[in-house]
Amino acid sequence: MSADFAAARSIIRRGAWVTGLALAGLAGVYVMALQYTPIEARQGLAQKIFYIHAPAAWSALLSFSLVGLAGGLYLLLKDPRVDRFAACSAEVGVAFSAVMLTTGPIWGKPIWGTWWTWDSRLTLTLFLFLLFVGYLVLRAALHDREERARFSAVVGIMGLVLVPFIHLSVYLFRTLHPRPILMKPSAPSMPPEMLRTLLTSFGIATLLFIGFVTMRYGIALAHDLAEAHADD
């Protein structure tokens, strides 16, 4: 039993290392964004928030996609570890989308002149965020572990399938949101310094995601062990 707890502790420690590294990297991204990249001609300094907003959005989408994939995997394997990972990923995703949803309006106020618009991508990202809050609420409301894992797997898969519909409707609905700058068929339309900083920030956000999820996974493992211990 204590060996299991030691394993959980070592996972948390490893996660803490990765998180520390990622946080240092994040400080580096701030420095790069402020010192290295040119000031955007029309948006001025406000554009700098892009180096936080876009990677946070990336990590949020990454974690939600992983929740969906883990859901599919769980239904195939019925492995509690996959479910635990999905739960951790969903929590971290909600945190990243909170960053995305707060930095967005801060940028929007000076550039669009409004904190929030009912632009389709904003609306749908907000609903995706709410969906995963709902996912966590559903998890909290179910007590049977196996049942909770199955149900959340189903919600995760459904959520993953919902994402392409969100992107589809972006193109159909009149939108204020900047059109894709990086992921488009032609070459990215930004100076190399900006591109380099942006890609670095994406890498750092991914690392931060890995660190957070690893730590959270260790904590969840310890929690499950303690629960099983109490049941005995």
Partner 1 sequence: MLRLAAAVAAKDIRLELRSKTALLSALVFVALVLVVFNFARDPTSVTAADLAPSVLWVTFAFGGTVALTRSFTIEREHSALDGMLLAPVSRSSIFLGKYLANLAFVGLVEAVTLPLVVLFFNVDLGHALAGIILVAVLATLGFVAIGTIFSAMVVKTRFAELMLPVLLLPFMVPPLMAAAQATTRLLGGRPLSELLGWLRLLGLYDIVFVSLSLLVFPAVVDE
Q: By the criterion CB under 8 A, which residues form the site for partner 1?
A: 75, 120, 123-124, 127-128, 130-131, 134-135, 137-138, 141-142, 144, 147, 150-151, 153-155, 157-159, 161-162, 165-166, 168-169, 172-173
Shorter beta-carbon distance to partner 1: residue 67 or 128: 128
CB 139, min distance to partner 1, A: 10
CB 223, min distance to partner 1, A: 20
Q: What residue type is 227 in one-letter code?
A: E
Shorter beta-carbon distance to partner 1: residue 106 or 166: 166
CB 103, min distance to partner 1, A: 22
CB 70, min distance to partner 1, A: 14
d(CA 178, CA 141): 38
d(CA 118, CA 120): 6
* Cα–Cα nearest to 125, from 50, 61, 54: 61
Shorter beta-carbon distance to partner 1: residue 71 or 218: 71
CB 85, min distance to partner 1, A: 18
Q: What is the 8-class DSSP label of residue 47? A: G
Shorter beta-carbon distance to partner 1: residue 43 or 123: 123
Contact 140, 133 (CB under 8 A): no
Shorter beta-carbon distance to partner 1: residue 41 or 141: 141
Shorter beta-carbon distance to partner 1: residue 147 or 193: 147
H or E segment to which residue 190 belongs: none
CB-count burial class (<10 Å; 0-12, 13-18, 19+) for 216: buried
d(CA 178, CA 43): 12
Contacts of 38 (CB under 8 A, 6+ apart): 191, 193, 194
CB 229, min distance to partner 1, A: 25
